[in-house]
């Protein structure tokens, strides 16, 4: 509730004063590294780590998916169950 009041009143005050607060960079003008409080090199390393972690997760997911498929086919053969098509 307080956030809404602040955003409504704050925006109107800026319009009335004409933004006399000086020249500040707005949130939209910051680079992604600055927005997260990192240097460019730290941000690039962070992005590389995120990509590597995603690749590892995807590989683990594919492995588990293959294992589940093997178990399903084993039980289908063992109990002579038909393959369900959905």
Phi and psi for 22 in degrees, rounded to 5? 100, 180
- Residue 55 lies in domain: 33-79
69 falls within a domain: yes
Q: Decide if 69 contacts 63 (C-beta within 8 A).
A: no
Report which of 41, 42, 38, 22 is spatially closest to residue 30, judged by C-alpha positions. 38
Q: How sure is the predictor about 62, in pLDDT bands with cuts at 50, 70 and 90?
A: very high
How many domains does the chain divide into? 1
Residue 27 in any domain: the answer is: no
CA-to-CA distance for 86 and 80, rounded, in angstroms? 19
| Reported pTM | 0.56
Q: What is the pLDDT of residue 38?
A: 86
| pLDDT, average across residues 14-24 | 57
Name the band, by pLDDT with cuts 50, 70 and 90, for residue 16.
low
Which tens digit of pLDDT belongs to each residue from 27-59? 567 788 888 888 999 999 999 999 999 999 999
Dihedral (Cα; 36, 39, 43, 49), 10-degree rounding = -120
């Amino acid at each position: 509730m307080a956030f809404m009041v602040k955003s409504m009143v704050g925006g109107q005050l800026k319009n009335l004063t004409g933004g006399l607060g000086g020249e500040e960079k707005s949130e939209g003008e910051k680079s992604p590294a600055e927005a997260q409080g990192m240097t460019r090199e730290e941000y690039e390393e962070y992005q590389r780590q995120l990509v590597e972690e995603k690749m590892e997760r995807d590989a683990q997911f594919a492995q588990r998916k293959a294992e589940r498929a093997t178990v399903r086919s084993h039980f289908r053969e063992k109990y002579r169950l038909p393959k369900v098509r959905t």
